[in-house]
Amino acid sequence: MALGVQTGDPLWLAKQKCPDIIFAPPHYDRYLQFSQMAKEIYTDYTDQVEPFGLDECWLDVTGSIGLFGSGKTIGDTLRERIKKELGITASVGVSFNNVFAKLGSDLKKPDATTMVLPDQFWETVWPLPVSELLYVGKATHQKLRKYGIRTIGDLTLTDVRFLEQVLGKDGVMLWQFANGLDQSPVSNIGAKSMIKSIGNSTTAPRDLVSDDDVKITLFVLCESVSARMREYDFVCRTVQIGIRDNVLCSYERQGTMTYPNRTVKNLFDQSFSLFQLHRPEKAVRSLSVRACQLSVMGNEQLSLFPKEFKLQKLERLDKAVDKLQERYGYFSVRRGIMLTDRELSNLDPKRDHIIHPVGFFQK
């Protein structure tokens, strides 16, 4: 748009760019329906289909070329089938690794197949703004610009040890991505790896400067993590939080709970206690909550011990809230503190969370 509103902008930012913008309510159920139908088309060409968020997938078609033609041919076929069978358009990136395939899919929209070839990827990729590279968000982009790193090519020419010093392990990862060194495999759509932890994270729409700011954000994250543990029938022994301040300094801390459980209150109490013990000097930009040391929830039996009895009451309360939100939507039941700052509490963690492919971080 002429005023700079882009796909993926949070509502507050879109409103800031265009004060007269009109927001239409999303049809989330339809969104999921079309996403699932697209995945069913993908599986006609390969069983290596890995979701990235709600509306994107990586496909490894290496073993399908003999049946269906080149990567570009398969990409064009997918676009035509999606257009004909679903009535929507799709953009496809074809490359020798996941990162460049994702980048290619973003270069030409709404309906195109873009090739990023291994013997000349630098011609396509390196002149692009560094913000086009996967996982270079707004804050990381600003920090890279501070050091004169404006294009992906600039990133490749930067000493990787300097990037590690400035951005931590993410700096090394981004340098590898820029140089075409991502070797992450595409997982099989039917494969389910053992779940070792359940977590969620968010970058706030503004700096978190007060305890209430942090409490609201942690409650949103803990509600999401708690609901997912119930979905998979897990309880946790350990809670881990991640903190990133407004100059991109980040660290993680964890603590052990007295009783394994998954209640929102106990997850929040442990998370906020960890935050108070390890409070950063600067304002907070991002927070994460992760439940670790998972175990399967046993059959619930009424306990006569006061603390366990209290946990069981909290568990039943959380389950009741799950049912209400499932029927009437996430925002139908809110905690009182959420009403004090709608900007921070407007995140629906069940829909808005970011999924990172596991393969990127197992090197």
CATH number (domain holding residue 53) = 3.30.70.270
Q: Confidence band (pLDDT; 50, 70, 90) for 343? A: low
CA distance 173 to 97: 14
How far apart are the C-alpha atoms of 296 and 183, rounded to whole Å?
33
Distance of CA 276 to the CA centre of its chain: 26
- Whether residue 150 is predicted with pLDDT greater than 80 in this model: the reply is yes
Q: What is the pLDDT of residue 352?
A: 45
Of residues 71 and 311, more confidence is placed in: 71
Q: How many CB atoms lie within 10 A of CB 42?
A: 21
DSSP SS3 for 348 = coil
d(CA 105, CA 116): 10
304 pLDDT above the threshold of 80:
no
Last residue of a domain, which of 117, 138, 161? 117
How many Å is the Cα radius of gyration of the chain?
A: 22
| Model confidence at 272: pLDDT above 80 | yes
* Structure-model confidence comparison of residues 1 and 284, the more confident one: 284
Kindly report the backbone phi and psi dihedral angles of residue 132, in degrees, each rounded to the nearest multiple of 5, phi listed first.
Answer: -75, -15
User: What confidence score (pLDDT) does residue 353 get?
Assistant: 45
Residue 172 has pLDDT above 60, yes or no: yes
Domain count, the chain: 3
Q: Same structural domain for residues 202 and 316?
A: yes
Domain check: are 44 and 169 in the same one?
Answer: no
What would the two tokens of residue 125 be? 């990729």
Q: Could you give the CA distance from residue 284 to residue 209 in angstroms, rounded to a whole number?
A: 7
Cβ contact 332:207 at 8 Å: no
- The reply to whether 285 and 137 lie within a common domain is no
Given 117, 134, 160, the domain boundary residue is 117
Beta strands, E only, the chain: 49-52, 56-59, 92-95, 113-116, 198-208, 234-245, 250-261, 284-296
Q: What is the mean pLDDT of residues 318-346?
A: 74
Are residues 205 and 299 both part of a single domain? yes
pLDDT at 270 over 50: yes
Task: Average the pLDDT over 17-21 and give the result.
Answer: 90
Domain endpoint, select from 192, 223, 248: 192
d(CA 126, CA 91): 21
Task: Pick the catalytic residue from 40, 50, 56, 85.
Answer: 56
Mark whether 303 and 220 lie in a shared domain.
yes
Residues 203 and 181 in one domain: no
pLDDT in tens, 74-102: 999 999 999 999 999 999 999 999 999 99
**CATH of residue 161:** 1.10.150.20
**What's the whole-number mean pLDDT along residues 36-52?**
93
Average pLDDT rounded to a whole number, residues 245-266: 90
In this model, does residue 351 exceed pLDDT 60? no
Residue 326 sits in a domain of what CATH number?
Answer: 3.30.1490.100
Same-domain check for residues 11 and 94: yes
Higher pLDDT, residue 109 or 100: 100
- Judgement on whether residues 279 and 216 belong to the same structural domain of the protein: yes
Q: Do 70 and 186 share a domain, yes or no?
A: no
One domain for residues 83 and 16: yes
Residue 346 pLDDT level (bands cut at 50, 70, 90) = low
pLDDT at 359: 40
Q: Are 143 and 128 in contact (CB under 8 A)?
A: no
Tell me, yes or no, whether 242 and 351 share the same domain.
Answer: yes
Kindly report the length of the chain. 363
> How confident is the model at residue 197, as a pLDDT?
85
Domain that holds residue 238: 198-361
Task: Choose from 39-53, 92-106, 315-329 the range with maximum mean pLDDT.
Answer: 92-106
**Mean pLDDT for the chain overall:** 85
- Is the confidence at residue 361, as pLDDT, over 90? no
Tell me, yes or no, if 308 is annotated catalytic.
no
pLDDT at 360: 40
- What's the pLDDT at 322? 81
Q: Which two tokens stand for residue 59?
A: 């496909």
Lowest-confidence region among 208-222, 269-283, 334-348: 334-348
Same structural domain for residues 238 and 277?
yes
To the nearest 5 percent, what fractions of the chain are helix, strand and coil? 50, 20, 35
